[in-house]
A and B are shown apart, each in its own frame.
Chain A
Amino acid sequence: AQSVTQLGSHVSVSEGALVLLRCNYSSSVPPYLFWYVQYPNQGLQLLLKYTSAATLVKGINGFEAEFKKSETSFHLTKPSAHMSDAAEYFCAVSEVFGNEKLTFGTGTRLTIIP
């Protein structure tokens, strides 16, 4: 069964510093991978997705993620944090073949320090 692990339920970075949110997946074959962001009292919004076309994926709001098969990772980065990036971030995986479910990680709450 597929799964994702997000290391660190809370991450704090200073404004202007690098943001790094970690995600590792477990799947028998390279899956599709997604990062979602959730702002307070809102639903989840797609940041970016990996679908095997390119290992480095660029998303909205300056975020990007790199798929590394050898490390089974899909970490999310942003070179310079902005106050508006404060939110909860979820990594998710779906199988290329099979059921249509998305399996979500437990989330990482990102706090930006002024």
Chain B
Amino acid sequence: DAGVIQSPRHEVTEMGQEVTLRCKPISGHDYLFWYRQTMMRGLELLIYFNNNVPIDDSGMPEDRFSAKMPNASFSTLKIQPSEPRDSAVYFCASRPGTGGSNQPQHFGDGTRLSIL
């Protein structure tokens, strides 16, 4: 079975540029989560969706960050304009809707973002 697929795996861009990270969840999973991982702050939940609807975006750091899920098989996390402090590894995860919160989340391999 295909897991969670993220693209690109690595992104290097200059400050001020727009960055778009992409995620394809596991087919049939109703929940999708975006995380950011840094040495200083560890693993932070940015936003999550249920059935393509954003449920909680309280972890989104600022208005420069936005996320969309236009359909059940695709989500994007966009940063515009990007800043060096946005450099981190961004993970997407998904999990089934049935079974409740005891269902584990399945993670993609992440996008390593470097803003110069």
Contacts and interface: CB of A to CB of B under 8 A. Distances in A.
B11 interface: no
Nearest to A52: B102
Could you tell me the dominant secondary structure of chain B's interface residues? strand
A25 interface: no
A44 B104 CA distance: 11
Given A99-B56, A104-B42, A43 B101 contact: no
Contacts of B93: 43-44
Contact of A101 (B4, B48, B108): B48
A43 B109 contact: yes
A100 B55 contact: yes
Interface string A25-43: 0000000101010000111
A49 B107 contact: no
B102 A49 contact: yes
B15 interface: no
A51 to B, nearest CB: 4
Contact-size category for B: 20 to 34
Given A41-B109, A43-B91, A90-B43, A100 B48 contact: yes
Could you tell me the dominant secondary structure of chain A's interface residues? loop
A45 B56 contact: no
B6 to A, nearest CB: 8
B11 to A, nearest CB: 14
Nearest to B44: A104
A43 B104 contact: no
Which 5 pairs between the two chains have the least Cβ-Cβ distance?
A43-B107, A51-B102, A94-B101, A46-B104, A32-B102
Interface of B: 4, 31, 33, 42-43, 45, 48, 50, 55-56, 91, 93, 100-102, 104-110, 112
Interface of A: 32, 34, 36, 41-46, 49, 51, 90, 94-96, 98-102, 104, 106-107
